[in-house]
Structure 1
Amino acid sequence: MDRPRPISVPGAPAPAGHYSAGMAHGGLLYVSGQLGGRPDGSHTFAEPFEVQAGAAIDNMLRVLRAEGLGPADLVKVTVYLAGVEYWPRLNAVYAEKLGKAKPARAVVPVPELHHGYLVEIEAIAALGENS
């Protein structure tokens, strides 16, 4: 059996801790939790929720694109929100960014997230047969 393979993501914020942005294994791509950090290292935590959510989704999509994937390849998305009151606003940004793709999804309210962010997104996507 193949070993898990870390994903290199050009143009994405570097992971802030001891982890990979994504791991490929067993025909699946596992995307680590993505916050709203920008590729230049700056943060969006002081910006409106929609900016944070859009940046977090963009970071998730960058990891997918690094493997030649897109929203249609998503199998499951988990979203952590620092307050369930953000759910409608998240859903609007999410629908805009993912378009017709509707993967399985869970939205989990949490008391707080790292750096004071309001949203973090992790995902699982299906890799191509030759990956």
Structure 2
Amino acid sequence: MSGATPVVTTQAPAPAGPYSQAILAGGFVFIAGQTPKLLDGTRLLDRPFDEQVRQTMENLRAVAVASGGTLADAVKVNVFLRPGCDVAAFNAIYETYVSHPLPARITTISDLAVGDVEIDAVLWLG
């Protein structure tokens, strides 16, 4: 993977598998999916939806900062929510973490095994 640099931070949970927290490549940062997990690896599966969303966004923010950017640099975000989750409640929290112009986004309903939410992002640092 020539020209790609992994991002590693202890300010976000370690990956749960064989992947990097993020990869820097060509002025972009590709942040791996973040979930409602604490630094020690504890998953917040039984916590209220809003708490899961905030923890997920905090993990995403920590990896963005470790890459040399912020969530204001996000150009694309992928959101995965479990069936029945309150999209309006998600949006209200999400909007406190991102800036205008808002990044392009897709929201997919998915039968996640890692909580009610998973989010990945692409940042542009160029």
User: Equivalences for 1:1-131 in 2 at 5 Å?
Assistant: 2-83=2-83, 85-100=85-100, 102-110=102-110, 112-115=111-114, 117-128=115-126
- Identity of paired residues, percent? 34
Question: Gapped runs of 5+ residues in structure 1?
Answer: none
* Deviation, structure 1 residue 73: 0.5
Give the letter aligned to residue 4 of structure 2: P
Please say if residues 78 and 105 of structure 1, whose CA atoms lie closer than 8 Å, have aligned partners that are also in contact: yes
For normalisation by structure 2, the TM-score amounts to 0.91
RMSD of aligned residue pairs (Cα, Å): 1.7
**2-side partners of 1:73 and 1:96: how far apart?**
14
Choose between structure 1 and 2: higher helix proportion.
Answer: 1
* Deviation, structure 1 residue 114: 2.4
**Matched pairs, number:** 126
Find the residue that maps to 2:120 and give its secondary structure. strand
Question: Gapped runs of 5+ residues in structure 2?
Answer: none
Moved over 4 A (4+): none
